[in-house]
Structure 1
């Protein structure tokens, strides 16, 4: 009966139950292997001697911690004359101290429980739980197919974990949402390993969505010359908001203390979309635009830029609207608007490609970046770099409400 229990509760075969011990509130099964073969020639004609005993933790029985006491034998084969040490078949590696069944249970619980909670429940060190999940993720993401990928998004992310600050570059399949690559740093150098993967996979990338970083644009043109580069509206408006905020800070520095009080704590009033403002907030924004003409002009130009994406139906309409916007921006002689108009003119083909690709957006990458930041906060930082990268690969399958 207890041998059957070994199989049905711990998924252990080829071992025979011998006796049970109860010690310190734990349940301990003494088991032994039923038969022996030579691991090299598979010959059954072997002699065995006990080398040592091992205590291996299995899945809990009720509320009791459960252990397996198993003798490890030295095996001598009379046919091939070799001496080997018995492999314990129900553990994942020779030095493992928990059963495969317990490892599978830990992996299954990780989507619902944090590492420390699982460690406490099974009486394990938290590093053991982490290592179980890490081995599972390494196996899961050992090979990432690129052959059928056509549309990718590239973005860099600034991360700070365990006091270390750095950039990482993330490449995702924008159709399936899968993470294809995570590289250290930003720019073309961070994508060198991804270049090798693309060559070996013979992938046919048709579209690349990115921000207007010169380094990424250069990489796209050199590595994927046939692909269409798209600068989606999210990054264009984000850059315009940065220019607007820069003007706000500059104007605040040029006015006196009384006027500065009017602009205090009004940063997001200018950055929010007008249609999302309450009536009182809209009135306040109109008043501030009238009082601070330069800031008001830039704010109106931001809304004009947004309206291009709302009104334009095709590439030709969008191109004409952007050129007209750039001409008006230069006439204002506001240096921030002049810089923005130059950026748009230099990247116009990538910007209007937004309409060629049925308004393809890389905004999902920004949402994914927020999930990465959430991941870091939940774990209070990551000391293991490889584990951190594997967790990023697994993020599309992770519930953000669960604790990491």
Structure 2
């Protein structure tokens, strides 16, 4: 039994009465297929008040870009009825089943576009879809806003707060992640204490309660500390061990750079007249943990440890701080952790290395939060990893035009939003 091409495509497009495909126009030269869709009803319910059996006032011509059929760009065209209602007195356009109101794309095309934008820069996704990137940005913003509006944050108890760079200069985005669910909760432009206050308001708007957030992992930003004190009153602050050790590495690097710049002959003499290549290996060896050393770095670090260079003392201080963290994690004894950290601070203060003296002063000021970070075994490693992915996305996109675009992509990729459209090419479920 033969089936007409219009009937075939009516089924393929998922149309049901009173909608049907009335005509199919294939242009192989333009690699395009156009579907003329018709509404056969004489009477329709009012879209505004649902009064049944209302007359059609007129019809408006509309077109929508659809998923490709075979290798051809596909478009749907329809004269969409407007209903003149005797009940409410309004004339309202009927919604079409294949697209949301006001969109020039079908719902399936938008779902594919969102799926591509999760993985690719928006400009590349637009090139694959053969459309402009600006309409894709509008759809990302629309669907992210809709999905976030019904997102549930009632279970949020532990959060990580950090900043990530938007562009060169002092342009930053504050990001707040749920460390338990490992997802992005909130992002906003800036990095002041108001950023944390804005997060608390957003948390309330999504069913969460700032008063039950009991732990915040962050860096030593005074602005974030102030914001947490004002907006999350029950939260204990722990300073992320990643940032503390990073500060020690930066202090070590500052000592090394100063010494190598100001006393190059002493450095070469202490290291046995080593060449530039070995110095580079030494630089990376100082930053890495010993198990990760290459053969060249093992040799360079052997020379360093037997020298009297300031760089050697700086490296020992950095490694000792790592050992303090390791002991705290192993023994989980607050008194022992406090004693170990106090001993390290005393050593750093007496080291005659200005970067480490400055670091010791900073850690003393935040002593309780540093100890909390040691014992809780919580870190912003996940947040840092997500920030890395955001920066990777920024580089791939060659930057974002606005902070809003950056934030929209962050939500799309990292918020695990449950109410975004499904990928249209997901395998059909077995029945």
How high is the TM-score relative to the length of structure 2? 0.81
Corresponding residue number in structure 1 for 2:291: 275
Give the one of 133, 148, 152 matched to 2:155.
148
- Work out the CA distance in 1 between the residues paired with 2:215 and 2:101: 43
SS at match of 2:360: helix
Distance 1:290 1:87, change over 3 A: same
- Work out the CA distance in 2 between the residues paired with 1:45 and 1:360: 63
Indicate whether 1:31 and 2:37 are aligned: yes
Corresponding residue number in structure 2 for 1:401: none
Indicate whether 1:179 and 2:198 are aligned: no
Corresponding residue number in structure 2 for 1:229: 237
Give the one of 162, 173, 181 matched to 1:168.
173
- Work out the CA distance in 2 between the residues paired with 1:91 and 1:179: 29
Indicate whether 1:293 and 2:309 are aligned: yes
Distance 1:130 1:249, change over 3 A: same
Residue 394 of structure 1 and its aligned partner are, at CA, apart by 3.0
1:268-318 CA-partner distances (Å, limit 9, x unpaired): 232222332235423322323544532211211111111112223122111
Indicate whether 1:107 and 2:114 are aligned: yes
SS at match of 2:311: helix
RMSD between aligned residues: 2.9
SS at match of 1:332: coil
Distance 1:121 1:34, change over 3 A: farther
- Work out the CA distance in 1 between the residues paired with 2:359 and 2:314: 11
- Contact 2:173/2:189 (<8 A) preserved: yes
Corresponding residue number in structure 1 for 2:350: 331
- Work out the CA distance in 2 between the residues paired with 1:298 and 1:25: 67
Alignment of 1:299-338 (within 5 A): 299-312=315-328, 313=331, 314-338=333-357
Corresponding residue number in structure 1 for 2:420: none
- Contact 1:65/1:122 (<8 A) preserved: no
- Work out the CA distance in 1 between the residues paired with 2:129 and 2:386: 33
- Work out the CA distance in 2 between the residues paired with 1:278 and 1:84: 72
- Work out the CA distance in 1 between the residues paired with 2:169 and 2:8: 49
Corresponding residue number in structure 2 for 1:402: none
Residue 73 of structure 1 and its aligned partner are, at CA, apart by 4.1
- Contact 1:183/1:191 (<8 A) preserved: no
- Work out the CA distance in 1 between the residues paired with 2:120 and 2:319: 45
Residue 170 of structure 1 and its aligned partner are, at CA, apart by 0.8
- Work out the CA distance in 2 between the residues paired with 1:270 and 1:366: 22
Number of paired residues? 393
Structure 1 segments unaligned to the other structure (5+ residues): 399-404
- Contact 2:164/2:173 (<8 A) preserved: yes
Residue 148 of structure 1 and its aligned partner are, at CA, apart by 1.2
- Work out the CA distance in 1 between the residues paired with 2:349 and 2:67: 71
Give the one of 54, 57, 66 matched to 1:48.
57
Residue 181 of structure 1 and its aligned partner are, at CA, apart by 1.0
Residue 74 of structure 1 and its aligned partner are, at CA, apart by 4.8
- Work out the CA distance in 2 between the residues paired with 1:244 and 1:118: 43
Residue 326 of structure 1 and its aligned partner are, at CA, apart by 1.6
Distance 1:57 1:311, change over 3 A: closer
Residue 376 of structure 1 and its aligned partner are, at CA, apart by 0.8
1:112-148 CA-partner distances (Å, limit 9, x unpaired): 6665565455543333344334433222223443321
Corresponding residue number in structure 2 for 1:361: 379
Distance 1:290 1:187, change over 3 A: farther
Give the one of 15, 18, 21 matched to 2:22.
18
SS at match of 1:338: helix
SS at match of 1:392: helix
- Work out the CA distance in 2 between the residues paired with 1:164 and 1:156: 14
- Work out the CA distance in 2 between the residues paired with 1:121 and 1:280: 46
